[in-house]
Amino acid sequence: MRRLLCLSAALALSAALAGPVAAAKPANQACLGQSVSAAAAQGAAYGQLVATTAQANQGVGAIVQAIQAGQLPDEVFPNTCNP
């Protein structure tokens, strides 16, 4: 009987918490290669960007995500991810 009560309580809790979830729009991953290619075509400025990125406190992953989300202006990085 105790097992049945615990199972019922667990099912009731699961049902109470179930529902739709909100999520952010996924990043456009395909645009990153185009952005890097455009930056590399600019020459020496791209090397400086790579050095700055490697030394950033946020880490490379945070910067890549910002590029994919279109959060960097084209003046900072020629960003094809910007809408």
First to last CA, the chain: 60
Please indicate, yes or no, if residue 77 is contained in any of the structural domains: no
Please indicate, yes or no, if residue 76 is contained in any of the structural domains: no
Q: How far is CA 53 from CA 1, 18, 43, 47, in A?
A: 61, 41, 16, 10
| Summary count for the chain: helices (H), strands (E) | 4, 0
| Range scoring the smallest mean pLDDT among 22-26, 35-39, 65-69 | 22-26
Please indicate, yes or no, if residue 36 is contained in any of the structural domains: yes
The domain in which residue 60 lies consists of 2-68
Please indicate, yes or no, if residue 6 is contained in any of the structural domains: yes
Instruction: Give 69-79 pLDDT, tens digit per residue.
Output: 778 777 777 77
The predicted pLDDT at position 51 comes to: 75
Please indicate, yes or no, if residue 80 is contained in any of the structural domains: no
Tally the domains of the chain. Answer: 1
Count of other CB atoms within 10 angstroms of residue 40: 14
The predicted pLDDT at position 27 comes to: 66
Q: How confident is the model at residue 83 (pLDDT cuts 50, 70, 90)?
A: low
Contact by Cβ (8 Å): 80, 34? yes
Residue 44 pLDDT exceeds 70: no
Spell out the residues 6+ positions from residue 63 whose beta carbon is closer than 8 angstroms to its own: 53, 56
